[in-house]
A = this chain, B = another copy of it.
């Protein structure tokens, strides 16, 4: 790939350019694919994405979700079974109409989400109460013909996610599943050091066909919020439409209750990049860094061989411990160029090895997050690296949370809300719950009502900031992707 060593843009001052540049230079994604809205994940980026996928899949499987893979095509008749669902999605799906020279008898939809692919099989699999609960998950791409502006990772016409679908004997058990899903997603975000707000979406903005929708909203350096995951209680809406029933212990036929949830891998990767990165490029949490340590030899005349040998010894020691390490001994580049390159890639720890380190049998370690250097002797190498990983992770996590806290503001009237929106804040307002008041916030101050805290009721402190009527809830308002 061609090298580009010009200065990086400012993350907070000029997010859009910063992000585009990091995507290309850190080999995250390439937006030059010749179909609009479709992006290529390149090597470093897809390595990170795969690690996030693996973390999530392990947690899902630990919680008894079976890994499956459903086809990408959905027949038109199945797609149209749940009325609200089809109303919500039909305007934005891709249609396959021909194969070879033939026109297909039945058109096929490229899945925009998989409920209508999965329920016909749930109907076959679920016979008795002993078959419940049933939990499956799949990591796949979904397709939506977005008419809004697309941006790699944030909004594409193809996007990578993991979706889970579950069926239960009663509403209570499906509600427990919603809580379990929230725990799993929270755990993954926490392990990535991402801060977020968990909101119950307003009714007018829930998933098409759901009883209610929860969403994980996270901050973005440009002041918009980024929805990185959603959890939906579907009640018996889909089960009724697809006739998913079971025989209970008394021999009665009953309707099942279902849930679904999805984590956007592009958006979770985007959040990981945007929360932790800085003006030098990526800063990766060690858990998902494809390389956790880079060793850079800094030889002087006469020390090339000894430095090289010591660098390889360090690499061997770290590898033994299962630490993902790379030795950059490409002699066409100067150490400074290598520093630039590996800082851009966000490798958490850099080890610099020169003649002095050889002589002392020491190592000089550089922290990507704080730019601090520490020295250690060879014997304590592994311990020091591991504790640096912990410290880096903790620092990234704290920084992300503090930034989120600093982003949240409160507004008591539309004028204040407008001022906050101009400052790109996430704003708490008293709201009567009427969709019309929410739509007015959007029309007049470009603020979207994202919802209210889930299972943590916040009492309003005054009347609705739009209509002045009695407020029922404290709503979170922001710009959004």
Q: Footprint of B on A, CB under 8 Å?
A: 1-2, 30, 32-35, 38-44, 46-47, 49-50, 66-75, 78, 90-102, 108, 110, 117, 120-121, 124-125, 127-128, 131, 136, 141, 143, 145, 158, 160
- Known contacts A72-B141, A121-B33; is-contact A67 B95 (Cβ 8 Å): no
Distance (whole angstroms) from the CB of A117 to the closest CB of chain B: 8
Cα distance, A66 to B30, chains bound together (Å): 14
* Residues of B with C-beta under 8 A to A70: 33, 40
Q: Is the CB of A71 within 8 A of B127?
A: no
Distance (whole angstroms) from the CB of A59 to the closest CB of chain B: 15
* Residues of B with C-beta under 8 A to A131: 1-2
Residue from the list B92, B97, B125 in contact with A1, Cβ < 8 A: B125
- Nearest CB in chain B to that of A27: its residue: B66
| Nearest 5 pairs of A and B residues by beta carbon | A43-B66, A99-B145, A38-B71, A41-B69, A95-B98
Main secondary structure, interface of A, reads: mixed
Cα distance, A96 to B91, chains bound together (Å): 15
Q: Is the CB of B97 within 8 A of A97?
A: yes
- Nearest CB in chain B to that of A54: its residue: B54
- Nearest CB in chain B to that of A64: its residue: B43
- Nearest CB in chain B to that of A38: its residue: B71
Cα distance, A66 to B50, chains bound together (Å): 12
- Nearest CB in chain B to that of A37: its residue: B71
Cα distance, A46 to B145, chains bound together (Å): 29
Most buried by B among A38, A74, A136: A38
Identify 21 residue pairs between A and B in the complex whose beta-carbon atoms are under 8 Å apart, listed by A's number. A30-B124, A33-B117, A34-B78, A38-B73, A40-B68, A40-B70, A40-B71, A41-B68, A41-B69, A42-B66, A46-B66, A72-B158, A91-B100, A92-B100, A94-B99, A95-B96, A95-B97, A96-B110, A97-B97, A97-B98, A100-B145
* Residues of B with C-beta under 8 A to A30: 121, 124
* Residues of B with C-beta under 8 A to A95: 96-99
Copies in the complex: 2
Most buried by B among A33, A102, A108, A127: A33
Cα distance, A420 to B365, chains bound together (Å): 68
* Residues of B with C-beta under 8 A to A69: 40-41, 46, 49, 160
Distance (whole angstroms) from the CB of A442 to the closest CB of chain B: 23
* Residues of B with C-beta under 8 A to A50: 67
Q: Is the CB of A94 within 8 A of B96?
A: yes
Q: Is the CB of A33 within 8 A of B98?
A: no
Cα distance, A477 to B283, chains bound together (Å): 56
Cα distance, A93 to B99, chains bound together (Å): 5
Q: Is the CB of B75 within 8 A of A34?
A: yes
Distance (whole angstroms) from the CB of A167 to the closest CB of chain B: 12
Q: Is the CB of A46 within 8 A of B67?
A: yes
Distance (whole angstroms) from the CB of A27 to the closest CB of chain B: 8
Q: Is the CB of B40 within 8 A of A121?
A: yes
Distance (whole angstroms) from the CB of A397 to the closest CB of chain B: 27
Residue from the list B1, B46, B71, B125 in contact with A68, Cβ < 8 A: B46
* Residues of B with C-beta under 8 A to A145: 99-100, 102
Cα distance, A207 to B1, chains bound together (Å): 28
Q: Is the CB of A32 within 8 A of B94?
A: no
Most buried by B among A71, A94, A120: A71
Cα distance, A160 to B35, chains bound together (Å): 23
